Amino acid sequence: MNAEPIIRVTGLHKWFGMLHVLSDVGLEVLPREVVCIIGRSGSGKSTFLRCINFLEEPSAGSIEIDNLIVRAGGKGKVHRQLVHDVRLKTGMVFQEFDLFPHLSVFENVLEGPITVKKMDKTKATEIAEMNLDRVGLLFKKDEYPNRLSGGQKQRVAIARALAMEPKLMLFDEPTSALDPELIGEVLNVMKKLAQEGMTMLVVTHEMGFAREVADRVVVMAEGEIIEQDTPENIFKIPKDVRTKALIDRYRSGGQ
């Protein structure tokens, strides 16, 4: 692929007080590419993802999303507008579903296009219904979140993110809060999105998903990217001993 990267992260650092959580992280992701980020708990994966759409403010470095460049440490109206514009281009799905409990499934998905994008209600309704259908939950549109399973809640969360018509999707361990029997239904939706050509950056501990769906696997340890390669190479011939230990734990059934 000769396309320009849709994500370009350069020299990213993040400190929480004295704790250096991300250290000089750089990554490029091409349009339509699916990149899975794996690593032990505490390796900086989720913080990295949250920095990309400025849920965490980076301490140093720059993030470019679809030709919008935002540098760490920016202040004022221009910086805030850039962050807002970056967020409009990125859909985010969290570990917890974060649905509004007082709104129906349909209203949850409708909320963003109307309030954030100021979309006409007829158009927003069409987009909301289309995306609920995409995740197989249009028949639940009038239910409230407390009547849904965990897997259904996460699929609604995906539909809600898609309704904003993002250029790319960020997934932060989207199955980690689910019972084992519900994980597959969420992964299947994500596989379908990958097949449709959605650019995806996925923090996951689901190694089988990473192996099957990713174009590239990125391995993080101690706040750094220690290795990145095709799934086949990462899982068969890892170069770094920490990657090998991670893969060995997965094969032996460890988390």
**4 CB neighbour count, 10 Å cutoff:** 12
pLDDT of residue 122: 95
pLDDT tens for the chain, 255 residues long, are 468 999 999 999 999 999 999 999 999 999 999 999 999 999 999 999 999 999 999 999 999 999 999 999 888 999 999 999 999 999 999 988 889 999 999 999 999 999 999 999 999 999 999 999 999 999 999 999 999 999 999 999 999 999 999 999 999 999 998 998 899 999 999 999 999 999 999 999 999 999 999 999 999 999 999 999 999 999 999 999 999 999 998 887 754
For residue 116, the one-letter residue type is: V
Q: What is the pLDDT of residue 154?
A: 96
List of residues 6+ apart from 143 with CB closer than 8 A: 104, 105
- Helical segments of the chain, H only: 45-52, 76-89, 105-115, 121-134, 150-162, 180-195, 207-213, 231-236, 241-251
> What's 80's DSSP letter?
H
pLDDT on residue 72? 94
Coil, helix or strand for 75? coil
Q: Provide the pLDDT for residue 233.
A: 96
Q: What's the CA gap between 76 and 89, in Å, rounded?
A: 21
pLDDT for the residue numbered 97? 86
